[in-house]
Structure 1
């Protein structure tokens, strides 16, 4: 199967054609590098100079696609040119092949060629001076360096600049990609945080509204309906106020842009009183020091709030116990409610509450458990969250 050679670059074609036409022009006017009586010229006919010229022009077609092969063949063509009257265009095209071999060749070739051409330049300088004992021998070394080492060094410098530019561009693209990933993660995290806050602040009030409105509609008792409507109004007003505060934070230039004070454990009493107003029999037990980290206090408050909301919707009749205790550098919250078979919840739920509680605990590197378990008073649904205080201080 025949091997298909790669197509030469259009710029290489231009260089090859231009060099070939320039060489033919010099040959046509009889302009050569050496005179017929030059001792180095072994072939006298002037047309022979065209053979290395054509070969060198063909090598220019491979300067990008096969730089190593082009340089090897070009070296042979240059050696043959030395045996003729010589063409300046052939020498110029050879310097371009040396430059291209360093610039487009393999990394190993790019490192070796400057060293090899530098060694050749040193030999071409020292040997004529030592052999002829004349300073004119330095001209041979200077010409050799101009033809070999100079284009090799130039190619090495250009290649280093090109590689540096590519590396900087890749680094900039990676930096931009990482910045975009960080921005996306930050947006996702902020959306999740806002979803948790919105759920925890509003779900409790809306659940109470749904439960008491159902009671008001199902019971034909003016006194009960009036009490239910009072609870509904209270929860509606509180929920609306919290929604306004949240919207004020989200929207620029609308109302109160300052965030409301974060709930603390001191507000658990009011939270429990509100749950009792909504119809829960709640017992609160606390044992903790003052001045706890704000992220831990907020997380515990929201977990207790969501647990009471779930108890209001799903718990069987009976006492709900809320316990908050500080032990061994951790703050533990436990909410247990009677667990039994119910035909349906008192208010619909989406299941996002447990997800939000678990996310809050995970952000503070704590542990979270929720599920049914046995107790001395019967089967209960227990929610337990243990939060290390050290993580809250660093949050």
Structure 2
């Protein structure tokens, strides 16, 4: 175990230098005028008071940088000063050293000095009275209390006030940091939500436009070209309308309650229109689309808006992926919901070997669907499976289960 190296005191504060010089000059003036507070004791020469004064002035230079060492030297200097006649300047500087030891010293010193000062005052009050049997001996205890208890407890009060101020400042900084972290997370979450909405709204229309524009270029048939251009125009108009709706919602700052968004948010009632559009977009690719709604209430129950929006977007993105990647065949959409249970969504599409997608994709669709389900506390699965009822091979199946029990209400 190595010994800790001795750390030299730092440079004294300029105010401490002023106090040391002022105390030394004041004490020399009082000594020159012969203004001592008491006669010398034990036959000591009065000039020892100047030694005590010099040592006490030196401790003023250490009051901030080495408060414990300053208090020890000041105590010895005070005892020497009292025995050699006593100078008011030395006593006043001692009170400042006691105050500084409590204020700038380590926590242990700050706790012990006030207690020791009280004990010394009690002893200095009781012992002289018990020995001298003179009430005037109480003045000695009063004097000891003035030069020890008062500065010590003043220092502890100011120290506690500074600690409380520092703690309040630290708490305010932590609160500001947490608020900034919350704001950053809110911005990130909002950006992710906007990205999902943009992808789900635009990808379906742009995929249809890309597929039919490719078909129009590849097939030299005026009729097929006119049909493809009609589908392209329809998807362009619908995509532009949805983009304008979303931009309007983002710019509308006068609707804090979100009523406009609630009115414009797609619901499960729009699945028929969504599949009709998919049938028009996928007719040239050999795809057919079937909707099977097995909800026990026949779709008459209003589910929470986030649940209906998530289910709608899952079906929309699954249909978009089918237009891009599915082999010719039937795409089946099933919606199921028992009263008090979760909302189940399943989309099945033919999964065959293709040289490449009909339209390019970013791969963000599955990520967005999974994020939507996880935000609502549901379950999500997507991937290839055996055909089962489809005898022609594998299928790509998307399954989602959305909790919708607690907020369900009748229309």
Q: Same fold (TM over 0.5)?
A: yes
Preserved contact between residue 314 and residue 346 of structure 1 (Cα < 8 Å): yes
Partner of 1:21: 25
Change over 3 Å in CA distance of 1:2–1:199 after alignment to 2: closer
In 2, Cα distance between the equivalents of 1:122 and 1:229? Answer: 104
Number of residue pairs the alignment of both structures matches: 387
In 1, Cα distance between the equivalents of 2:173 and 2:33? Answer: 55
Q: Comparing 5-14 with 384-393, which one deviates more in the overlay?
A: 384-393
1:172-187 map, 5 Å: 172-187=172-187
Unaligned runs of 5+ in 2: none
Partner of 1:371: 383
| Deviations 1:239-272, CA, capped at 9 Å, x for gaps | 1111111111222589xx9435211111111111
Preserved contact between residue 47 and residue 84 of structure 2 (Cα < 8 Å): no
| Deviations 1:140-187, CA, capped at 9 Å, x for gaps | 111110000000000000000000000000000000000000000111
Deviation at 1:43, TM superposition (A): 4.2
Change over 3 Å in CA distance of 1:194–1:340 after alignment to 2: same
Q: What secondary structure, in the 3-state scheme, does the structure 2 residue paired with 1:371 have?
A: strand
Asked if 1:341 corresponds to 2:341, the answer is: no
In 1, Cα distance between the equivalents of 2:406 and 2:64? Answer: 59
Preserved contact between residue 265 and residue 309 of structure 2 (Cα < 8 Å): yes
Deviation at 1:69, TM superposition (A): 1.8
Deviation at 1:3, TM superposition (A): 3.9
Partner of 1:380: 395
Q: Comparing 89-98 with 156-165, which one deviates more in the overlay?
A: 89-98
Q: What secondary structure, in the 3-state scheme, does the structure 2 residue paired with 1:209 have?
A: helix
1:56-75 map, 5 Å: 56-75=56-75
Partner of 2:281: 278
Q: What secondary structure, in the 3-state scheme, does the structure 1 residue paired with 2:303 have?
A: coil
Deviation at 1:94, TM superposition (A): 0.9
Deviation at 1:21, TM superposition (A): 2.2
In 1, Cα distance between the equivalents of 2:252 and 2:311? Answer: 30
In 2, Cα distance between the equivalents of 1:213 and 1:365? Answer: 40
Deviation at 1:31, TM superposition (A): 2.2
Asked if 1:298 corresponds to 2:309, the answer is: yes
| Deviations 1:354-380, CA, capped at 9 Å, x for gaps | 111010001011111111111222201
1:1-395 map, 5 Å: 3-10=6-13, 11-34=15-38, 38=39, 41-43=41-43, 45-252=45-252, 258-259=260-261, 260-279=263-282, 280-288=287-295, 289=297, 290-327=301-338, 329-376=341-388, 377=390, 378-390=393-405
TM-score normalised to structure 1 length:
0.93
Q: What secondary structure, in the 3-state scheme, does the structure 1 residue paired with 2:228 have?
A: helix
